[in-house]
């Protein structure tokens, strides 16, 4: 009798544990039925960021593994090259950086610096296959990779088995629920009037550029707080590859940064308007 009791007790515990796991890892709420696909037509998207999107917390600088990343605006038609990776079941249903739930069946991706809701076309340079995805997360934080695709997006360009693939990314526009044309907040001449940018202008000196993070960190540590200024590392990706650029920051005016450049050890550096 006791053996039979313990046997049924064991079965009950196994059943309860199985139900608990099923509930914890259930995909029912984020399944294939909720997949959103995106058009390859640039006219289907906003052409710029709204002021609200530009001020969103996901556009604030952040630091991961000692590297500071600076989310930035981008233009329709901008292209980037690098390696893509993908993420799937282990993250399914978890929160992304912009507060959404990650759905591995949806056409989304993670990028370190592009604005949230940027829609990009990703082309696998090995086979020419393409996928249109919307940025809704941050990552991948690996030096050799520039974008993390959802499982479905990775399957669309046939890179799931390999894990990574060389890709080209092209910005198509910015997705919004209520699509409307947005004029960028840059200086635009219109009817003899000048619309001045709402961004606060500041200046930096680019004092070094490296293809590896180690060299950038050494330079940052060496020159940090030089003459009261701060050094930062920016992770920059463009058509020429990925670079870790070291900047001396804290200059309030153009005259200040020019005077400092001309009278310091950084006379050969570049002035950058932020």
* Predicted confidence (pLDDT) per residue in 151-172, tens digit: 999 999 999 999 999 999 999 9
Give the Cα separation of 116 and 58 in Å (integer): 7
Look over the chain and give the mean of its residue pLDDT values, rounded to a whole number.
78
Give the Cα separation of 18 and 12 in Å (integer): 10
Tokens of 68: 């500071």
Give the Cα separation of 240 and 224 in Å (integer): 28
Judging by DSSP bridges, how do beta strands 165-174 and 79-87 pair with one another?
antiparallel
Distant-in-sequence, close-in-space partners of 36: CB < 8 Å, separation ≥ 6: 106, 107, 134
C-alpha distances out from residue 155 to 82, 126, 131, 140, 159, Å: 18, 14, 9, 18, 6
pLDDT: which is higher, 206 or 30: 206
| Residue 124 pLDDT exceeds 80 | yes
Given the candidates 3.40.50.720, 3.40.50.12780, 3.90.850.10, 3.30.70.1070, the CATH classification of the domain at 203-273 is 3.30.70.1070
* Predicted confidence (pLDDT) per residue in 11-28, tens digit: 444 334 333 333 333 444
Q: What is the pLDDT of residue 2?
A: 53
| Contacts of range 240-244, beta carbons closer than 8 Å, 24 or more positions apart | 241/81, 241/82, 241/211, 242/82, 242/143, 242/144, 242/146, 242/211, 243/209, 243/210, 243/211, 244/67, 244/209, 244/210, 244/211, 244/212, 244/213, 244/215, 244/216
Q: What is the pLDDT of residue 33?
A: 57
Judging by DSSP bridges, how do beta strands 241-251 and 230-238 pair with one another?
antiparallel
**Residue-range domain boundaries for the chain:** 43-174, 203-273
Give the Cα separation of 117 and 181 in Å (integer): 15
Task: Give the mean pLDDT of 63-91.
Answer: 86
Nearest residue to 273 via CA among 219, 199, 217, 214 = 199
Q: What is the pLDDT of residue 31?
A: 55
Q: What is the pLDDT of residue 165?
A: 96
* Predicted confidence (pLDDT) per residue in 172-228, tens digit: 999 986 554 443 444 333 333 332 333 345 788 999 999 888 888 888 888 887 776
Tokens of 74: 């981008």
Q: What is the pLDDT of residue 73?
A: 83
DSSP 167-181: EEEEEEEE--SS---
For the domain 43-174, what is the CATH code?
2.40.40.10
The fraction of the chain above a pLDDT of 90, given in percent, is 30
């Amino acid at each position: 009798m006791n053996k039979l009791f313990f046997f049924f007790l064991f079965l009950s515990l196994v059943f309860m544990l199985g139900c608990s796991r099923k509930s914890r890892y259930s995909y029912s709420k984020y399944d294939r039925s909720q997949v959103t696909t995106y058009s390859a037509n640039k006219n289907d998207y906003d052409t710029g960021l709204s002021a609200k999107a530009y001020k969103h917390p996901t556009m604030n600088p952040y630091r991961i593994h000692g590297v500071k990343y600076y989310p930035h605006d981008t233009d329709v038609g901008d292209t980037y090259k690098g390696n893509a990776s993908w993420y799937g079941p282990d993250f399914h249903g978890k929160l992304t950086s912009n507060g959404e739930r990650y759905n591995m069946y949806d056409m989304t991706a993670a990028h370190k610096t592009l604005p949230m809701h940027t829609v990009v076309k990703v082309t696998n340079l090995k086979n020419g296959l393409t996928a249109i995805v919307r940025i809704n997360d941050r990552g991948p934080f690996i030096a050799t990779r520039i974008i993390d695709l959802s499982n479905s997006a990775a399957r669309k360009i046939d890179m799931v088995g390999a894990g990574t693939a060389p890709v080209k990314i092209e910005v198509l526009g910015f997705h919004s629920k209520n699509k409307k044309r947005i004029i960028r907040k840059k200086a635009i001449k219109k009817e003899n009037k000048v619309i001045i940018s709402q961004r606060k202008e500041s200046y930096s000196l680019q004092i070094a550029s490296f293809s590896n993070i180690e060299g950038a960190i050494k330079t940052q540590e060496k020159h940090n707080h030089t003459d009261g200024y701060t050094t930062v590392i920016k992770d920059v990706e463009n058509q020429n590859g990925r670079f870790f650029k070291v900047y001396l920051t804290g200059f309030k005016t153009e005259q200040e940064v020019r005077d400092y450049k001309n009278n310091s050890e950084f006379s050969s550096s570049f002035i950058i308007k932020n």
